Amino acid sequence: MVENSLSPAAITDNLETRFIGQRVIYYPRLTSTMDAAKREAQQGATEGTVVIAEEQTAGKGRIKRAWLSPKGSIALSIILYPSSAYLSSLIMVASLAVVHCVEKVTDLKSQIKWPNDVLVSGKKVCGILIESDVRGNRVDHAIIGIGINVNLRLSDFPEISPTATSLSHELGRDVSRLALIRCLLAETERLYLALPTGESVYQEWWDNLVTLGKKVRVSSGEATYKGIAESVASDGSLLLRQSDGSLTKIVAGDVTLRE
């Protein structure tokens, strides 16, 4: 039997983490977990505090897009206080945690579309948003926001169905959001704590990127680039080989895979 609602007690009960998810703030309905997490961080919330919402009414996506976040999905934000050296690695930590946990909980294989969309069967199942407040060389706080289409009937959401999927759609049955959330919190912490040890989160992220070697179109701000996604740098940026032979480094953007 798959659970219907998420309670902080069920999430934290015997959770095998040191700090991520040891404090959970739960909302049945909220504009965006990012905004609530930012307020908590500004008030000095302990590292690893998680804000979770059953449903978001103004979910935020990357590049100022809206993120659809109805009941049945996962919408959570994790508050961290990393050193600035690890800020760019949070994208890798979060997307790998999702790939690992989707496979562990559902047996589905997923891939990462640069920089941090997670795809199943070539369609988007998860979006990740990292927001941070940096003063000079110091990170005041960073927030990892993770949205996963878990138990969604795609026919109810025609606006996303051409490019998105859900775990329940792929499997033909509902998935335990509780199991997925608990796995995500533990896996995010494991990968985050591995960053200073030099264990290569970067190499594993690279290995899971579906984008590399493909012909892509990348929109970055006002500019659009076309070329082959050749590699990624250790700071997470994409290196694009254009038809004139030049190599362009793209720090943030949106990739469309071309035939």
| Binding string, residues 60-99; x marks residues near ligand BTN by CB under 6 A | xxx--x-x-x-----xxx----------------------
Which CB, 56 or 165, lies closer to ligand BTN? 56
Question: Residues 140-179 vs ligand BTN: string with x where CB under 6 A?
Answer: -----xxx--------------------------------
Span from 79-87, 91-99, 102-110, 124-132 in contact with ligand BTN (CB under 6 A): 124-132
- Pairwise CA distance, residues 167 & 148, whole Å: 8
Closest-CA residue to 76 (of 53, 46, 48): 53
Work out which of 21, 59, 82, 115 binds ligand BTN, going by CB under 6 A.
Answer: 59
Among residues 56 and 211, whose Cβ is nearest to ligand BTN?
Answer: 56
CB 145 to ligand BTN: min, Å: 3
| Residues of the shown chain interacting with ligand BTN in the complex, contacts defined by CB under 6 A | 32-34, 56, 59-62, 65, 67, 69, 75-77, 117, 127-129, 145-147
